[in-house]
Amino acid sequence: MFNSPFLAETGAIAQFTGRFFREGFRPRYEVREFLYQCFVVGYQSLPMVGITGFIMGLVLTLQSRPTMAQFGAESWIPTMVGLTIIREMGPIITALIFAGKIGSSIGAELGSMRVTEQIDAMEVSGTNPFKYLVVTRVLATTLMLPLLTVLADAIGLYASYVGINFKGVTSLALFTNNVLSGLTFADVLPAFFKTFFFGFAVGIIGCYKGYYADKGTAGVGAAANSAVVVSSLLIFILDLLAVQVTSLMGFN
Amino acid sequence: MKTLTEPAPPPAPTGSAEVVLTLEHIAKSFGDNHVLQDFSLNLHRGENVVVLGKSGSGKSVLVKCIIGLLKADSGRITVLGQDVGTLGHEAMDQLRAKLGFLFQSNALYDSMTVRENLLFPLRRQWLADRRGQEKEMVQQALEDVGLGDTAEKMPAELSGGQRKRIALARTLILRPEIILYDEPTTGLDPITAREISGLIREVQQKYQTAAFVISHDMDSVRLVADRVALLADGRCYAQGTYAELAKHEDPRVHAFFI
């Protein structure tokens, strides 16, 4: 039991996270690399997140319409879709897309740098590779995912408005009014805050897997693969925890 | 590219010169594998020492202990008067500016151009008196290795020998006092290997750097070494000039020179 590889891995990830908090907030600050990573992680994910957000809103609206129509509740579609996207679908779908795109690329990039001794070369050049590579990427993913989620939510809601207008006519003002009337801060804020944790999970797992990649090209592939698998799983676990915490705080 | 001919003969023995690197009773094990057991050696200013040994004899481990990428289990490593084992992160980083390391795999940053590769150590080891001179320093380092026109290329566009030269330029740009070479000619064709050996000798003569070279390429050892040390059984089994060791009677030493 105590020799379990699962426990050993969990312990190693916890240590890696501890190192992030120990080293991440002490100088020297790698501001330039951090901003560059924000650009890579945030800006370059925009098209992917935008498209998935749009499809998510559209499909959700089109799928729910027949059922809602059966109960004569079509006018409730904006409220229902708004709640679904803001509270759950937006954060989770965006985080999963983000894990697939960014988690894998961080895992592969750092893994390949480890295998070709580029991380050692950095250390020899007088650079702390943990700060330069890990801290900047984890901070970038933690801060960029919430922004991407807000954007995906907005695009998803707009897609829902488009979907509603496939049959019948609804004005944007009425649609917005319906969406907002169904939302409270207790819906929006916990959903927003949990995305910081999702972003942190994607960054820290991607960096951990890459930073400690095994030698050889197979090690790079394995690092990219397990970065996505583990961070996706962690996103669901964090989501479950977030539901429990918000319930305890009386937000549900 | 400049064609290198037979390198100049080694300079006069440097027995009286200042010692810049001292290895005392270095031991390093990985589990039951005792790679280094009691290795001791000195390196003098301006001297080229080649550590010779079979594959897997612990040569790369030794050089990584010196640069601080691995920590020796016991023994003392003194570089330019500083005990590497007692240095903190910042002091070690400062020492590394005077201690170049050429990786066996070159370890060029493949997402950066050649110029960015050279600028990286320069900007990290920010030296006030060199501000504004970056461009000239990059060009000078590239010309030192005979590749003045490759600054905007990516490492993937270069040949194996050119990559080795760029890696050497990246090491040279900080004007280190000691350069550690980890198998500098491995994987290169004989002609290119000979050019790189000549370059190591040129660098030594131009900048008066000391070089600690790990190798098992005897042609390169002959061209580069002022002194040769043989690493066997985890210790310094024999040392002397190339000519002395070539005439050595011990069959384990002699085996390298056949």
What are the tens digits of pLDDT across the range A52-91?
999 999 999 999 999 988 998 888 999 999 999 999 999 9
* B103–A117 C-beta distance less than 8 A: yes
Instruction: State the first-to-last Cα distance of chain A, in angstroms, to the nearest integer.
Output: 37
* Partner A contacted by B93 (CB < 8 A): yes
Q: How confident is the model at residue B243 (pLDDT cuts 50, 70, 90)?
A: confident
Q: Where are the domains of chain A?
A: 25-248
Tens-place pLDDT, residues A156-178: 999 999 999 988 888 999 999 99
Q: For B99-176, list the strands marked E by DSSP.
A: 99-102
Contact at CB, A120 and B69, closer than 8 angstroms: yes
**What's the rounded Cα separation, in Å, for the pair A228 and A233?**
8
Is A125 close to B89, i.e. CB distance below 8 A?
A: no
- Provide ipTM, 2 decimals: 0.82
Amino acid at A160: S
Contact B69 A125 (CB under 8 A): no
Give me the pLDDT at residue B129, please. Answer: 56
**Whether B245 contacts B257, CB under 8 Å:** yes
CA of A179 vs chain B CAs: smallest distance (Å): 45
Please, are residues B19 and B58 in contact by the beta-carbon 8 Å criterion? no
For a pLDDT cut of 70, what percent of chain B falls above it? Answer: 91
Domains and CATH numbers, chain B: 19-98+176-257 (3.40.50.300)
Residues of A in contact with B69 (CB under 8 A): 120, 123-124
- Inter-CA distances, A168 with A65, A75, A177, B26, B177, Å: 12, 11, 17, 82, 79
- To the nearest whole Å, the CA of B99 is away from the closest chain A CA by 9
Task: Give B-chain residues touching A123 at CB under 8 angstroms.
Answer: 68-69
Could you tell me the pLDDT band of residue A238, with boundaries at 50, 70 and 90?
Answer: very high
Whole-angstrom distance, CA of residue A137 vs CA of residue A22? 16
Q: Is B110 on the interface with A (CB under 8 A)?
A: yes
Cα separation values, B65 from A77, B18, B42, B91, B175, Å? 66, 22, 15, 16, 21
Instruction: Give the nearest chain A residue to B94 (CA atoms).
Output: A126
Q: In angstroms, how far is the first alpha carbon of chain B from the final one?
A: 33
Residue of B69, B111, B121 lying closest to A126 (CB–CB): B121
- Distance, in Å, from the CA atom of B175 to the CA atom of B127, rounded to the nearest integer, reads 12
The confidence score (pLDDT) of residue A125 equals: 84
Contact B97 A121 (CB under 8 A): no
